[in-house]
């Protein structure tokens, strides 16, 4: 009995000592206890290096600003402490990558300097536009290269109603107003955007490009619907003959023989009339045209393909261009300030070519374009001309177009 007690005591002491020893060593510095943890979880976390314009930003003191009016690149670099000798070398290195004469006031620049008590410039970055930039390195040697920020594409849907203008509709809804340009291009042959009415509405699905969370442009238009004067205007993109064009819901091309208007984003100041009080002569006489009020220098476009049959100063009409489009139709553009490049009698122009610029020449009270439309030599109201469309969806492509149409209607309107 005594022997059993002694053996039991020895076993107990051994267990206690084992526990103490294991506990001691498991708490010692540098001792890794046996666990089921993944060894990678025990590794130290390495801070991620932040890059700006491809430059490790954490290694430098970052500054910058915007280019001031009349400031040149060499002068700005001199203000940043760069020596004349280095500036001359930098200008030579820059030539293949950037024309320093295009250094623009208001554009952003960023500097990367050392953390020394007297900072030394190591990188100079000039943003040429929201996407593209120029980098000048003054590290071991002077190096220059162009770079571009990453562009994110976001698919958006816009829905809104006209209250004042197409442009303001997008601005008022916090959307990119450049969409107004896109829609005016798509519907240029179908909708007179100078005659939009309050309550006209639209829906459009499109891609928008973002850089640093800032919108920098509009991409692909996936489909659009416009309600104007109680009529629906669809824009369905469809590829035919390897070219993507826009068609209406019946497969007719939105592109017509004539544009709806010869200039963009203006307002109608006077309409076609057989008896109008002339603002200068103060007598009633026919006004067989439409006046578009616009600033001097606004580009005027040919509404269709044709041959220039007349240019020059023409009394009260001022500087004028007249174009014959075919055996039936011709157009005239009055009160121009100057003519488009190469525009003269006998020149062939295509739809959308700039044939002149808004002015106030001749009998005019202010800058505007007097636009006139002739059918078989007789004046007609330009706002009432129904231009024929170009080739519709071909019969062989109708089934494919039907699928495209169904997809667009679902995406744009949800049905």
Report the residue count for the chain: 415
Q: Which two tokens stand for residue 224?
A: 């659009």
Please determine, looking at this structure, whether the domain spanning 152-247 carries the CATH number 3.10.450.350. yes
- Residue range 142-176, pLDDT digits in tens: 999 999 999 999 999 999 999 888 899 999 998 99
User: What pLDDT shows up at residue 41?
Assistant: 52
**Predicted TM-score (pTM) of this structure:** 0.63
Distance CA 155, CA 167 (A): 20
Distance CA 52, CA 149 (A): 9
Please determine, looking at this structure, whether the domain spanning 267-384 carries the CATH number 3.40.50.620. no
Q: What is the CATH number of domain 51-148?
A: 3.10.450.350
Distance CA 168, CA 373 (A): 30
Mean pLDDT of the chain: 84
Domain with CATH 3.10.450.350 in the chain: 51-148, 152-247
Distance CA 115, CA 96 (A): 31
The DSSP output letter for 42 is G
User: What pLDDT shows up at residue 46?
Assistant: 61
Q: Which two tokens stand for residue 189?
A: 């042959």
State the sign of the Cα–Cα–Cα–Cα dihedral 21, 26, 32, 35: positive
Domain with CATH 2.70.70.10 in the chain: 267-384
Q: List the chain residues with pLDDT less than 50.
A: 1-6, 8-11, 13-35, 37, 40, 42, 276, 278, 281
């Amino acid at each position: 009995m005594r022997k059993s007690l002694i053996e039991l005591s020895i076993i107990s002491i051994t267990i206690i000592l084992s526990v103490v020893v294991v506990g001691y060593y498991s708490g010692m510095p540098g001792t890794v206890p046996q666990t089921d943890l993944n060894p990678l979880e025990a590794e130290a976390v390495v801070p991620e290096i932040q890059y700006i314009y491809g430059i490790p930003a954490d290694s430098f003191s970052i500054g910058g600003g915007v280019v001031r009016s009349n400031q040149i690149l060499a002068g700005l670099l001199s203000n940043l402490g760069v020596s004349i000798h280095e500036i001359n070398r930098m200008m030579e290195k820059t030539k293949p990558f950037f024309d320093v004469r295009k250094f623009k006031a208001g554009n952003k620049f960023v500097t990367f300097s050392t953390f020394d008590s007297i900072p030394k410039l190591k990188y100079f970055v000039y943003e040429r536009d929201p996407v593209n930039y120029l980098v000048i390195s003054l590290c071991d040697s002077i190096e220059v290269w162009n770079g571009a920020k990453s562009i994110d594409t976001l698919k958006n849907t816009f829905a809104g109603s006209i209250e004042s203008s197409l442009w303001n509709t997008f601005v008022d809804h916090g959307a990119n107003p450049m969409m107004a340009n896109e829609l005016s291009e798509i519907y240029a042959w179908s909708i007179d955007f100078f005659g939009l009415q309050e309550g006209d509405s639209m829906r459009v699905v499109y891609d928008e490009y973002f850089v640093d969370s800032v919108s920098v442009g509009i991409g692909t238009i996936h489909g659009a619907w416009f309600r104007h004067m109680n009529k629906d205007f669809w824009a369905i993109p469809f590829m035919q003959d390897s070219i993507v064009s826009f068609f209406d819901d019946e497969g007719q091309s939105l592109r017509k023989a004539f544009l709806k208007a010869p200039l963009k984003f203006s307002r109608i100041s006077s309409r076609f009339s057989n008896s109008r009080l002339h603002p200068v002569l103060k007598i009633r006489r026919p006004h067989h045209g439409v006046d578009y009020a616009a600033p001097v220098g606004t580009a005027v476009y040919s509404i269709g393909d044709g041959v220039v049959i007349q240019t020059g100063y023409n009394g009260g009409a001022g500087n004028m261009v007249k174009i014959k489009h075919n055996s039936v139709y011709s157009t005239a553009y009055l009160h121009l300030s100057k003519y488009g490049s190469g525009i003269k009698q006998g020149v062939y122009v295509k739809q959308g070519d700039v044939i002149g610029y808004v002015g106030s020449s001749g009998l005019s009270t202010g800058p505007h374009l007097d636009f006139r439309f002739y059918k078989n030599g007789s004046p007609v109201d330009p706002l009432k001309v129904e231009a024929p469309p170009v080739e519709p969806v071909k019969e062989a492509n109708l089934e494919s177009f039907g699928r495209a149409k169904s997809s667009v209607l679902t995406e744009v309107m949800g049905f």
